[in-house]
Structure 1
């Protein structure tokens, strides 16, 4: 397993991450357009750094938007080499001849971050900071990658994703809410048990301001894939329930564990991958700050 601060085997999750990228592609494109337009207004090809690029969903969006805006430089950074390789390949395919795509293997908590990454007009970090021990220090370090006038965009938080009817006809109603509660309990424990963990007892825009950034703000984007969902969405729901039930298993009672096992069993009549009443509805928030200059 690749070393990560959270103890998660991200290599094992590559396929699930790729499926999620597929169903998020339209939303990612819209976010990338909004952010690239902020840093490409003067016509100069921008430098965009995607820290914690994962399976490459946003990297692909940035590559295609940069190509449509006349080109630029896209740098992917991740601590998990298998993910980084996959993401770089996908981004390169989307880039076209006017966009340079580079890969840097580095931990976002590494003190070398500012020395191995170029000065950036935009740094994007999606669901990265909350996996690092000292979140404020991580934000400070990400801000240090910015060129004067550059923007840091953190995608963190939002509204919990819903994917199941309230009563699915198996077990007790309200399973989705209990899975979310179990996931949240797991997250608290994960943060508490992380070596060197430091609490971040403020909101994200205050943390950006504490890093010396100005013009802080936030926006949220919606992913709404209603029932009856297509196969890709249904399989992402399978991935989501698998992850939530695995991470929060000890916080679920035996009845809910049995119910989840049925929902994830392809041979069961209630397998969520075959149900026409599952859906995907959630929002993600992006928090922005600019470096003076």
Structure 2
């Protein structure tokens, strides 16, 4: 799903289980995607350079697959001012947020929504000159087949862009002054274990190497390209960024805190306590550094 994903340090903030409550997560998804806006703007600029020849008339139709609340859909509408952008998601409440956002930004005439499951409910979408999907396909059991399904909606010369993978966000100093040094690394390891179990529990899951360029090639696409984009928010963080980190760490504590020892759980409790001087909302050394990789290929 676009607009962010895995809660906790592992990958942004988007699934509590195999069947998360996306409607409940809507406000957090929107805030997280807004935090990542500088990164997405870089990616959109790169796509604008890569996609002019996507169709004889240029980019006229864009699909944002797994759009969530539409933050990136609206960014794509601004990057491609002659295009209709269709935000596609399986959660109606998130699409309502996307419509509201488009209206606030004066984009309601070009940003539309479509309720659809990924990938089995995409038949009615029609073709597109650019298809963007961010952190949606790793929620699908057969990722290779999902890529092929998206590729089937590309118009001749169209570009498929998949934002999957990158570098795990970093935001904690190695030694926090509370608990044992290295908490971030242990959170990352617990998050990876949780993520692997989530993938294994998906319907019709296929256990294979996550080689996104190979998936694009197997779908019959050509001219592959890969680029990573950096989000670098140095200390001291803004209040919004701190709030995002508190939400991220709180969800990590709820979801896989039982994989950590008591010392680490205590440190997490202190980090998320707004009254604790060692907490994220008050400490001066919290930062945010993340990289997102985008894989592209064209029809």
TM-score when normalising by structure 2 = 0.89
Residue 194 of structure 2 is matched in structure 1 by 186
Superposition RMSD on alpha carbons, in Å? 2.0
- Listed one character per residue, the Cα deviations across residues 89-148 of structure 1 (whole Å, up to 9, x for unaligned) are 213433548x522110001122x31x2112000100000111111111111111111111
Runs of 5+ consecutive residues of structure 1 not aligned to the other structure: none
Q: Work out the CA distance in 2 between the residues paired with 1:146 and 1:133.
A: 22
Q: Is the 8 A contact 1:39 1:46 kept in 2?
A: no
1:6 partnered with 2:18: yes
Correspondence list, 1:168-247, <5 A? 168-247=176-255
Name 1:75's counterpart in structure 2: 86
Partners of 1:63 and 1:101 lie apart in 2 by 7
Contact residue 74 and residue 111 of structure 2 kept, 8 A: no
Select the residue among 137, 141, 144 that pairs with 1:133. Answer: 141
Q: What displacement does 1:17 show?
A: 1.5
Kindly report which structure 2 residues correspond to 1:252-267, keeping only aligned pairs within 5 A, or say none. Answer: 252-267=260-275
SS in 2 for 1:61: helix
Q: Which has the higher contact order (CA 8 A, sep 6+)?
A: 2
Runs of 4+ in 1 over 4 A off after TM superposition: none
> Residue 17 of structure 1 aligns with which residue?
29
Asked if structure 1 preserves the Cα contact closer than 8 Å seen for 2:74 and 2:107, the reply is no
Q: Which of residues 105, 115, 120 is equivalent to 1:94?
A: 105
2:286 pairs with 1:271: no
Matched residue of 2:224: which SS?
strand
8 A contact 1:136–1:200 mirrored in 2: no
Give me the whole-angstrom Cα distance separating, in 2, the residues matched to 1:47 and 1:131: 25
Tell me if the contact between 2:17 and 2:198 (Cα under 8 Å) persists in the aligned partners: no
Distance in 1 of aligned mates of 2:98 and 2:48: 19
The reply to whether residue 65 of structure 1 matches residue 76 of structure 2 is no
**Aligned counterpart for 1:107 among listed residues 117, 125, 139:** 117
How far the C-alpha of 1:237 sits from its partner, in A, is 1.3
Indicate the SS of the match to 1:216.
strand
Work out whether residues 119 and 150 of structure 2, in 8 Å CA contact, stay in contact via their aligned partners in 1: no
More displaced, 173-182 or 33-42? 33-42
Q: Tell me the secondary structure at the aligned position of residue 18 of structure 2.
A: coil
Q: Which runs of 5+ in 2 are unaligned?
A: 1-14
Displacement of 1:43 after TM fit? 5.7
Give the Cα separation in 1 of the matches to 2:172 and 2:287. Answer: 7
Asked if structure 2 preserves the Cα contact closer than 8 Å seen for 1:140 and 1:211, the reply is: yes
Q: Distance in 2 between matches of 1:138 and 1:37?
A: 26
User: What SS does the corresponding residue of 1:257 show, helix, strand or coil?
Assistant: helix
Task: Output the TM-score relative to the length of structure 1.
Answer: 0.90
- In structure 2, the CA distance between the partners of 1:239 and 1:286, relative to structure 1 (3 Å rule), is same
Shift, 1:216, TM fit: 1.2
Q: How far is the alpha carbon of 1:197 from its aligned partner?
A: 1.1
- CA apart distance, 1:73: 0.6
